[in-house]
Amino acid sequence: MTVSTSPAVEGWFATDDAPALLGSRCSACGNLVFPPTAAQAFCRNPACSGEQHEPVPLSRTGRVWSYTDAQYQPPAPYITTTDPFEPFAIAAVELPEGIVVLGQVADGYGVADLSVGDEVELVVETLYADESGERTIWRWRPTGATTEGEQA
Ligand SMILES: [Zn+2]
């Protein structure tokens, strides 16, 4: 058995030095969606009859649109990495592309570190590890920049 590091979900994000989420763009109307669809899929824009999509890396930074604290353990297929369950923060982040993407907040950060409008950047962290290696997921890490340019 080989031990390796790989994404917990295949094809949703790139894991190189500058990790980015991968969306799908309709080749007919340019409609952008995340999570990515299959290359051959009907466009979700009801006014478009496009059926071809291409993968596009999305912006690596966005603004906090909303956030919450997961105080209770989510149901399966959620995998607990701590026993007992430790609450974690979830942020809905609006990307410049106009898409809102949910994600956990980076290790070491909680709701106390978040405000609506704050800038966050995408990082890739370990979600869990099993006998075959580490599985990674994207998370949002506050950059310290705020909307109005005020001090955080
Ligand atoms: Zn389309």
In the reported structure, the alpha carbon of residue 58 is separated from the centroid of ligand 1 by a whole-number distance in angstroms of: 18
Task: Give residue 45's pLDDT.
Answer: 95
List all residues 6 or more positions away from 97 whose beta carbon is below 8 Å from its beta carbon: 23, 32, 58, 59
CA of 47 from ligand 1 middle (Å) equals: 8
pLDDT in tens, 24-77: 999 999 999 999 999 999 999 999 999 999 999 999 999 999 999 988 887 777
**CB within 8 Å of 13: residues ≥ 6 apart:** 7, 19, 20, 21, 22, 122, 124, 138
Whole-Å CA distances, 123 to 3, 36, 92, 148: 22, 19, 15, 24
5-27 confidence digits (pLDDT tens): 889 888 999 888 889 999 999 99
- pTM for the full predicted model: 0.84
Find the 14 Cα to ligand 1 centroid distance in Å.
24
Dist. CA 32 → ligand 1 center (Å): 8
